Structure 1
Amino acid sequence: MELSVNIVILCLLIVFSAIFSGMETALMAVSRVKINSLVEQKKKGALALQRIKNKTHKLIITILIGNNLINISAAALATVTFSQLFGSNGVGMATGIMTFMILVFGEIAPKTFASQNAVKVSLKVARPLEILMKILSPLVWFFEKITGFVTKLSGGKKKEEISEEDLKSFLSMGRKEGVLDKDEAEMMHNILEFKDTKVVDVMTYEDEIEMIDGNKTIQDVLEFIVKSPFSRYPIYLNERDNVIGIVDVDDVLRALHEKKTRRKIKTIAKDVLFVPESKEVDELLSELDKRNEKIALVVNEYGDVIGFVSIEDILEEIVGDVFDKSRRRSAYLTKINERLFRTKAKIPLEELNKILETNLESETSNTLGGFIQEKLGKIPNKGDKIKYKKFIFEVEKASRKGIEFVKIIKG
């Protein structure tokens, strides 16, 4: 009778050893991001899981105390039982058998199962484990003080700061577990990368900037500004590197309203911020905000203007591809109205096809400029047009190098 009781108790102890081992694996595998998601979904046991996970040190100590007490008890009971049955040989037999039983059924099997079912196991055990943590709190407190003292003596830190790499890992985990969608994860990743981004990485290059000669009158440039998709224009004197300021479309409209269009446009130019290409984007954003400005010109080490950067460029660096292609602003194309578009000739045909919902194809080029040149069969000049399906493509600006800007009219 006593032997039967001992065997039943041994089996129960191995079961409890398995439970504690599985709990440890499952609880360590479930991320805080996932737990927060479970709480939001109001899953049973999620709040208890969140509470115990917030006390990770106490949680680990509780599990280790429970598991070790059970394993020691099982080993002691097995030794006594086998000694009664087999005498002095029973000790060795008990050690071998219990090592195998605890290793296979108390460690490997439950930990494998728990790692594959971490969320389910964690939700089931959270509430009972929270109660056990309260029951064992005096012991937990005692061991917590000892481990804290030992850690301090060994020069360890109680709590390490979360590094940037940790945050990136959390984002990746949140994405895989469905807590964050692709766009949210990408935006947060961009924010982490933001502090290392230089102005030169986000600026619009000088050859893509529409500049205005400051000696021209407002009347002279009115037609140009009306046709152009931009809202701000750097003003230069004599040569493009000699930028003296910037003009906003609102300033031009104000001059038009006040009938001052015969004035030279340089007279309404505002001061502009010049920044080195090596300046970090987060510093520039702060500086633009303090000065209440929306744009800065970028210069190289020799003081030559090599590009400009706007608040929109900076924010786009953070937002990235959050919006789908049908909604986000193209880096090449500007929509004037429902039927009229203006685009750089180097826009990829693939991107243009998605925006216009068409299927332009070229055997020799992957850009709109190459497509137009192929259809014309010559080097295009300003004003040249081609009709393709329901679209008219008109060369708006060209140079010896090729087409620069194209006007697209939807029929």
Structure 2
Amino acid sequence: SISILAASLFIGLFGVNGQWISIVVTSLVLFLAGEAIPKTFGVTYPMQVSSAVAPLLLLISRLEFPIVAALEKTPGLILKKLDQRKTRETDVLMEDEFKHLIDAGSREGVVDESQKELIKTIFESGDRPVTDIMIPRVEMFCLALDMPASDIVREVVRGRYERVPVYREDRDDIIGILFARDLLNDTLRRGESASIEKLLARPYFVPESKTINGLLHAFQEKSIQIAIVVDEYGGVSGLVTLEDILEHLFEEAYGDDDAANCECDVLDANTIIVPGKMSIEQVNELLQASLPQDEFDTIGGFVLHLFGKMPERGEKIHCEDYHFRIESVGKTRILKIRIEKEKQAPSEADE
């Protein structure tokens, strides 16, 4: 509006050339009045200028707040509604597009076959539930809240744990996650603490149906590295860490035969010693067997079912063509099992 008034004034005084004079004069006045002079005063007398204009700016801010808030929130609400409807579709679309890009790269020689299989395996294994990779409840290292601080420090240091679940009454009552760095820093700064409760981080609980990919995204969004897995009744089933997820993804991608072999002792072609936590699928691959995989996840669970009780070290049992001998047990689980395939009697034709 100032430019229009100035242009009208100078055109009236100087004719057609007045518009150019108006541009020069208006620019100079705006620069001096709107930039140079206010900034010079502000820099020279900062406290006086701030004190003088602060009440006016505060009043304007309060008057404009309802309008500004409405303008800020309205687009956000609309975008949030649209995002909720399209998130799942977008995720699937992005995954499919990425797979197509990998296929195209493989055809053109940019991505070799091993890299292609690696990426596809990671996508596929990510849809499995977290129960496939979690540390079972019986194997979880937890601390009781009422333990003496000195005992807690000793256990954490001895086990070299970075994150430890802490419970109040029992393992179904986990109230927080204790970080080793926080515990040690507090101990060094204040000596032996009376209670660790103030050091606990809020636990993150996930259902057994949570997928590995879903949990990995949650870890990224919340900047955490550990989750407690609970069943439908709220009981603790186990825990999963970021390390467990990464280890699982790369084992799946590169093949877990090496992992299976390094966990067991192969005595001969028909005899192996395996940990109770080894999956029945891995045992079947090692022995070319067909032990049932549908009802049991681990060989320890299967053998425990065969005994019908917690067996003792040295006990044996026979099933199908295999002899199972307990090599070692814990309080509530089988640690190691010796599996021996029954030797087949020679047939009459062989004789």
Shared fold (TM-score, shorter chain, > 0.5): no
TM-score between the two structures when normalised by the length of structure 2:
0.45
TM-score between the two structures when normalised by the length of structure 1:
0.39
